[in-house]
Each structure stands twice: as C-alpha cells, then as structure tokens.
Structure 1
C-alpha cells in the first residue's frame, strides 16, 4: 500500500512456523520522494466484528495478541530518495500456545508534513504524519481443530434496493482462524430449474461469530424456497452446512 510518498509490501504477513521454532519474514518499505525520510515502527492490536469489519486498538493484554512473540530487527530507520529497505520480523511461538494469534504494526513517517485546508471558513495548516498498517497473523497449524457451525439462514427484503438479502450466521468455535468460502444455494421448490447460487470469501477469528450478507440481486417471488449453505476451507474441504425451508410472503 502507498501512503503519501512511501510504500509498504505486503500488507498482511502470515507466519506458519511450528511451536518452539522461529520464523523470519520481511516487509519492504520504499521511499518514493526526492528527500531522505526517516520512519518508525510501532505495534498494536486489531480484531474483527461480526460483520467482518476490522477495528484497531492500542497494544494491550488482548487474549490473541501476537505482540509478545515477534521482534523487529529495526524499528527506526532512514531511506534514501527512491530507495527501499527490507525489515526482518522474527516470530517465535512457545509450546504453550494453542491458538491462532494476530497483531498489527504501523510504519510511520517521522517527517511531519503540513497540509493546508481549503475550507474557506476555517482556513488552517494541519500537520500530519502518514502511516501504513501491516497485519501480522500466526495461524495455529492444527487444522483438526476447525470447528464451524452454521447457526441460521434468514432472508429480508430491502425496499430501497427492491432486492432480497440473505444473512448467514456462522460460529467459529475452534482455536484457528478460518479462511474459506460460504456457498449459498436456493431454489423455489415448486419451480423446476430455479436454482441460483452465490459465494462469499470469509475469514472468521477463533471463538467468534460472523454474519455473511448475500445480495440476491432481485426480489424473490412469493413461495417456498429451499436455502442451503456449504462452507469449505481454503483447501476446499467441507467444514459445515445447513439447510432451511423459507417462505417468501
């Protein structure tokens, strides 16, 4: 991602080392400006709500924080104009850890920039320090602990869009981050060849719920429908599913 005049890649760093072993991966920071810039790296935590929205917060005693287990070779550095640097991040997971962990690091320019507001009423200069967030994720390697459950399938009509929406609630009761697809299939039980299907990619954190929204792109005709969900992990393996009969009135 590019912020102002510098770039960081990748935006998400995955670790998969076995317990009690170390693993080192790099992020690349590039300075696109014509001046030498200095950068500082700080860390924090993040999580996701039931709709999949990410929210960030300060480093704390968050249960799933990866912060205690990684180290940075550099947290304060300078980059020459149009040059780049690799920053090694080393992770060591103790044997006592039995779940996925995650955190975030912020790469922030130490060179403050002044920006003039164009508001004719409140003209002023403000000082900003551009920063980029990079998520660090350790996924517990035991896939046998995947434990998903589809709790409900509900369909609602939205008058503003003149379309029906289906909401599927899924619980991840395991200790690993679930990555995969949710497939929604439905048909009017009295109309032959009326099957339709949709798919959404999802990521669900351990011991949490996720509500997946499907826009059906149309208003369903009145009648009885068979709705089914099939949830597969990233390897394509079936993990959970549910079927319900829903009457559209």
Structure 2
C-alpha cells in the first residue's frame, strides 16, 4: 500500500511531559547547561513508550528563533550565530522503545573552542523513524501516516552571562474585524531567556469599572522584540479606558508597567 507521510512537530514548551499522537513521551522538556568552573555537566532525558507497538527514535538538532509574533522559526543546525548544535553530543543517537518500555539518552555540550559570552541555544529533535511499521501494526487503512518529532529546548549559559531584563516598548488598542484587543510589544534587553507573565488591567474612565484580563505567558530570548495580543471581552462596553500592562518575569527581574489612556469602540 502506498502511503503519504505527514510530518507533525510537537514542541515541548511548558508541560513537564510530552505525548505525541504516536504515544511516545520525553522528559524533561528543557535542559539548562550552566557552566561551573568552565565545565558543562551532561544531562539525561527519558523516553517512554506506553503504547503496544515498537518505536525507533533518532536524535538530531535544529536552530530556532522567534519572529515578531512570537512564533518559532526553525533553521539548519549551526545556521544561527548563537547555536549550540555544533557542539551537541547525544548518546546513543538512536534508541528502540519496546511496548511499555523506556530508554535514556545522555545529552552533552562539548565546545571545542572558546565561545562568545552569550546565551547559546538549540532544539534537540527526537524523531520517530519507523512510522510505516507503526501504521501497519496499528492497522491504519488510510493513505496517510504521521511522522512525529518531539523537541526539547537546549540552553547553554556561560558563567558570566547573568543579566535578566525586559521592557515594554509599545501598548496600543487594535480592532480586527469584530475582535478588539490590546497589542503589547515586549523587548528582551538582557542576556538570558525569560519566561514572563503579562497582565492587562482596564479601568473605564467614566464608570470606574475595572476589568482584569487572563494572564498571558510570554517567552523571550535575548534581543527578541515580540508582539503579544490580549483579546478584550466581547461584552466590554465602548468608552475611554485606562490600560495598565504589567510584565512579571520573576523576583529577580524588575517589574515592568506601562499605562495607556485610549478610546475603545
């Protein structure tokens, strides 16, 4: 039977454990390599197969960065200047996961020359490479099979790279079709990746009624300037509002606050 392969990439962002459509899992979702006395300690990831079919998983690496909307863009390994892919080592590179079984991979970063004092990162790709075998074992009758990859974030932080800073560049009201939203551009001005929470609070200038929007998670890398969209409630009355935007990146990063007074129609 002829099959058309579909490629499905699931990136490990916030959850402690990932499950692909095929069922294999990997943990942890992120690996942080912090230099201690000029050395990087190897770390292990665990792969688990809770399904009833055998899986073969192969490791590789890719570069990535976010665009202005915060969406990830992927590049060949070593393409970006802050890539850690060229000095990534994974042992073993390929593992067999029997039904109900688990395996570990040892992940190491071993630079062979001095690197610039900046954060380096990459994405460890774990690819299912026996998708045809799995499809046949599961009795797939359609002409489509799914090839699944899970991505584990890799971060290499040199010893003297410690600055955490973020700023709010712009706050604006926008209307697209029937949707109203607050658009906020944040700028990671430090030297480390940040996981922030953005909160938006609105006060009706006429009635003094307050509305607090649901917090939004904002992930950023050094130098990234990202637009974040905060949808407004459909029933929010038109009028003039004071908009307060807060970016909270944790106790060791100054809280960022911006105000905007604007008419919302």
Q: Give the structure-2-normalised TM-score.
A: 0.77
What is the CA–CA distance in structure 2 between the aligned matches of 1:197 and 1:143, rounded to whole Å? 36
The DSSP-based 3-state class of the residue aligned with 1:29 is strand
1:234 deviates by 2.6
Given the alignment of the two structures, is residue 174 of structure 1 paired with residue 174 of structure 2, yes or no? no
Q: In the alignment, which of 194, 202, 211 is matched to residue 196 of structure 1? A: 211
Two-structure CA RMSD over aligned residues (Å) = 2.8
1:211 corresponds to: 227
5+ unaligned residues in a row in structure 1: which ranges? 119-124
Residue 239 to residue 68, structure 1, CA distance change in 2 (3 Å) = farther
CA separation of 1:8 and 1:189: change in aligned 2, threshold 3 A:
same
**1:10: how far off?**
2.5
Q: Distance in 1 between matches of 2:177 and 2:252?
A: 36
Query: Structure 1 CA distance, aligned partners of 2:77 and 2:237?
Result: 50
Asked if residue 11 in structure 1 is aligned to residue 26 in structure 2, the reply is: no
Gapped regions of structure 2 (runs ≥ 5): 1-17
Cα separation, partners in 2 of 1:169 and 1:117, compared to 1, 3 Å: farther
The structure-2 alpha-carbon separation of the partners of 1:37 and 1:170, relative to structure 1 and needing over 3 Å to count, comes to closer
Query: Contact 1:220 / 1:248 at 8 angstroms: preserved in 2?
Result: no
- Which structure 2 residues correspond to residues 1-249 of structure 1 after superposition, within 5 A? 1-3=18-20, 4-18=22-36, 20-34=38-52, 36-92=54-110, 96-113=115-132, 118=142, 125=143, 129-139=147-157, 145-161=163-179, 164-192=180-208, 194-198=209-213, 199-235=215-251, 237-249=253-265
**Which structure shows the bigger proportion of residues in strand conformation?**
1
TM-score normalized by the length of structure 1? 0.81
Moved more, 108-117 or 205-214: 108-117
The 3-state SS of whatever aligns with 1:146 is coil
Equivalents in 2 of 1:39, 1:28: separation in Å? Answer: 12
Count matched residues.
Answer: 240
